[in-house]
Amino acid sequence: MRPMPDHRLMAEYAAPRRLTVPISNRYGEGDMAVLDFGPPDRPIDLVFAHANGFNAYTYRSLLAPLAKHLRIWAPDLRGHGRTTLPTDIQNRRNWHDHREDLIALIEAIDRPGLLLAGHSIGGVSSLLAASRVPERVSSLLLLDPVIWPKTTVAAFQMPVFDKLPSHSPIVRSTLRRRSVFDSRDQAFESWKGRGAFKGWPDEVLHDYLVDGLVETPEGLRLACSPEWEASNYSAQSHNPWQALRRFEGPVRILRAEYGSLCAVMRGRGNVRVETVKGGGHLFPMTHPQVVRKALTDMVFCRVD
């Protein structure tokens, strides 16, 4: 039997504060939307970055129970949620824009020993950022990060081969995705129990829809456009293996048992790899207790 949630705790901490952080880098200027969980007078413990196509509010029920003891910033990545940074897909080859955005956010926090965690693209972007500013980051928790085998990553660095991901089935299906709805209820009924949302608790899907749809004259439109989501799938010329070599702090990787997008790797040195039993790539939505335990260990045990 699954344990019942503590509804009093959830009611107290379920509504994070909203803030924006101005970002300016070579990829453009705009505001990064951030959810601020936890005691406002506490230094920030953790930055949590979401997966492609989603937004920070999708992870509210995952992060809220931790807010009694931790201060967590959860940003909407470029092209997602309420963030207003430009999304230029022309000639885009990698996730260096997400890397630079997170570095700017880390610098705005201006605190050494920050902990970074992220799911899928959020995990890789956190890794790429940490490898550039290791003096500001103490450790990493990566939730099924998109890390291809080394030979594949090497191929994606080369001309012609770097175009291969843009022809993948997931890119084609993403570009065909319905992007406008009459209401959030309509979107909820359209997605409940289907596709990527299979197995999601209703609460998590409702949370995704809070910032996943924006009002337009045509109706409620996906905050992350299919074109931008597809661009994230296509732009694979970054190098997470190089970033892993550069970052010397503790790295804990939780890998999905089914449908993982993280190459099989052995734990070595500062890198610890574990498998989430019964979990698919979206296990933070379906197995939140595993992620919360890992996040708590990160902060209070300083994984080594």
Span 108-166, pLDDT tens digits: 998 889 999 999 999 999 999 999 999 999 999 999 999 999 999 999 988 877 788 88
Percent of the chain having pLDDT more than 90? 83
| Cα distances (angstroms) measured from residue 83 to each of 30, 40, 145, 184, 234 | 8, 21, 22, 20, 21
Q: Which residues are within 8 A (CB) of 214 and not within 5 positions of it... i.e. 6 or more apart?
A: 220, 221, 222, 223
Query: Hunting for tokens 């505001």 — which residue is that?
Result: 31
Token couple for 304: 């080594």
Q: What is the pLDDT of residue 298?
A: 86
Q: Is the pLDDT of residue 303 over 70?
A: no
pTM of the model: 0.93
